[in-house]
């Protein structure tokens, strides 16, 4: 059985679609432009958001509903050394404390890297995709991974460190593989082998079968994200097509696990267009059946302001989460 987890999206890496109210006073589209627009007010507003959006009772709720882990997206600015971004390492410290109290495992996810690894808003700064084009961006990311590993590598709740979230599919394999190798070495300097090191598939899952192989690299996992709401081909599917794709995922997971254990680092109940409630329940069941073949899955995300199909709290019954 897969370990059951959820992402704490929109918390330490702000996303406008998750918490539009946070962005309401500006024209900002990501955390970089939000922090820039707010200027001297950014620290106070972001601290208020981080203090209230996720709290210890949320961790208690997750444990009570049978969840076992949280995946926490963090940006390279969390230590407070990358203005105009506002740091907030004390909130991540609190998360580890709450996780220990409520017996949840923690997957730390490098969600935002210098220069942006994909040009999307959830990397912290949308637009230009420059992470892989500048050596100092990669070097700074390695330094960030080292800081995370030094601070949390021996924490009893640390389940794993994900080296980079969703690098763009056009990122050269050689660049990514070299980064993954260097980051793996750093993490292993500060962790025991039971702490997983996770690499993203960069939307090219079979590119990584020969990268960081066992037994020279221990407890290496491959992260795939499973969505059916973005691509044109998915948008053209009927419900039977979406359900068939879930079965295809299961076969894909089984094939990939011959090389590396697979996690589903992100998935949701979102489908294109208008979907009946009973169809969403059917889709949820089909996804769960497929993702049970992974090592762990993490629903995206724990809570949103306006998007129930992306919201674990509001989708609990569809996902079979009931208080224990």
Q: Could you report the per-residue pLDDT of 123-138, keeping only the tens digit for each? A: 999 999 999 999 999 9
Q: Give the pLDDT score at 297.
A: 98
Is pLDDT of 58 > 90?
yes
Q: Give the pLDDT score at 149.
A: 98
Q: Give the pLDDT score at 285.
A: 97
Superfamily of domain 3-315: Glycosidases (3.20.20.80)
Q: Give the pLDDT score at 287.
A: 98
Q: State yes or no: is 278 an active-site residue.
A: no
Q: How far is the C-alpha of 263 from the C-alpha of 221, rounded, in Å? A: 7
Q: State yes or no: is 15 an active-site residue.
A: no
Q: How far is the C-alpha of 208 from the C-alpha of 256, rounded, in Å? A: 10
Average pLDDT of the chain is: 97
76 confidence band (pLDDT: 50, 70, 90) = very high
Q: Average pLDDT in the 201-226 region?
A: 97
Q: What is the DSSP letter of 73?
A: E
Q: Give the pLDDT score at 275.
A: 79
| Residue pointed to by tokens 């109210």 | 21
Q: Give the pLDDT score at 277.
A: 83
Which three-class secondary structure state does DSSP give residue 163?
Answer: coil
CB 129 within 8 A of CB 168: yes
| Residue pointed to by tokens 């590993």 | 149
Q: Average pLDDT in the 151-179 region?
A: 98
Contacts of 229 (CB under 8 A, 6+ apart): 235, 268, 270, 271, 272
222 confidence band (pLDDT: 50, 70, 90) = very high
Range 185-194, long-range pairs (CB < 8 A, 24+ positions)? 186/142, 186/145, 186/146, 186/149, 187/145, 187/149, 187/153, 187/161, 187/163, 188/218, 189/149, 190/146, 190/149, 190/150, 190/153, 190/154, 191/149, 191/153, 191/154, 191/158, 191/161, 193/218, 193/219, 194/219
What CA dihedral angle connects 108, 114, 115 and 119, to 10 degrees?
20
53 confidence band (pLDDT: 50, 70, 90) = very high
* Percent residues over pLDDT 90 in the chain: 97
Catalytic residue among 44, 56, 266, 278: 266
Q: Could you report the per-residue pLDDT of 171-202, keeping only the tens digit for each? A: 999 999 999 999 999 999 999 999 999 999 99
Q: Give the pLDDT score at 150.
A: 98
Q: Which strand (E) or helix (H) includes residue 221?
A: strand 220-226
Q: Give the pLDDT score at 29.
A: 97
Catalytic residue among 44, 56, 166, 181: 166
Q: Average pLDDT in the 245-273 region?
A: 96
Q: Give the pLDDT score at 219.
A: 98
Locate the DSSP E strands across 33-126. 69-75, 105-112
Q: Which strand (E) or helix (H) includes residue 244?
A: helix 239-256
Full-model pTM? 0.97
CB 129 within 8 A of CB 117: yes
CB 112 within 8 A of CB 46: no
Which three-class secondary structure state does DSSP give residue 267?
Answer: strand
Which three-class secondary structure state does DSSP give residue 23?
Answer: helix
Q: Could you report the per-residue pLDDT of 262-286, keeping only the tens digit for each? A: 999 999 999 998 878 889 999 999 9
């Amino acid at each position: 059985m897969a370990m059951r987890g959820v992402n704490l999206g929109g918390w330490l890496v702000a996303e406008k679609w998750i918490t539009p109210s946070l962005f309401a006073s500006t024209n900002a589209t990501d955390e970089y432009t939000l922090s820039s627009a707010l200027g001297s007010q950014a620290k106070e507003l972001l601290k208020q958001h981080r203090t209230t959006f996720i709290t210890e009772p949320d961790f208690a709720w997750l444990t009570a509903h049978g969840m076992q882990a949280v995946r926490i997206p963090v940006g390279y600015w969390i230590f407070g050394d990358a203005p105009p971004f506002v740091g907030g390492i004390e909130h991540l410290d609190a998360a580890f404390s709450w996780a220990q109290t409520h017996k949840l495992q923690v997957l730390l996810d490098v969600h935002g890297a210098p220069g942006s690894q994909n040009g999307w808003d959830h990397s912290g700064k949308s637009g230009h995709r420059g992470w892989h084009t500048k050596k100092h961006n990669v070097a700074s990311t390695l330094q960030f991974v080292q800081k995370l590993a030094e601070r949390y590598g021996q924490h009893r709740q640390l389940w794993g460190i994900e080296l980079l979230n969703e690098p763009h599919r056009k990122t050269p394999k050689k660049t990514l593989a070299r980064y993954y190798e260097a980051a793996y070495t750093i993490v292993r300097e500060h962790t025991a082998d039971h702490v997983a090191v996770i690499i993203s598939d960069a939307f090219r899952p079979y590119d990584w079968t020969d990268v960081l192989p066992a037994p020279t690299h221990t407890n290496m996992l491959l992260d795939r994200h499973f969505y059916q709401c973005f691509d044109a081909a998915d948008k053209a599917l009927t419900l039977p097509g979406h359900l068939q794709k879930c079965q295809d995922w299961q076969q894909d997971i089984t094939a990939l696990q011959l090389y590396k254990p697979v996690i589903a680092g992100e998935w949701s109940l979102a489908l294109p267009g208008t979907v009946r409630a009973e169809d969403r329940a059917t889709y949820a069941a089909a996804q769960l059946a497929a993702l049970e073949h992974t090592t762990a899955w993490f629903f995206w995300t724990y809570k949103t302001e306006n998007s129930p199909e992306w919201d674990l709290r509001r989708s609990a019954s569809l996902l079979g989460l009931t208080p224990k």
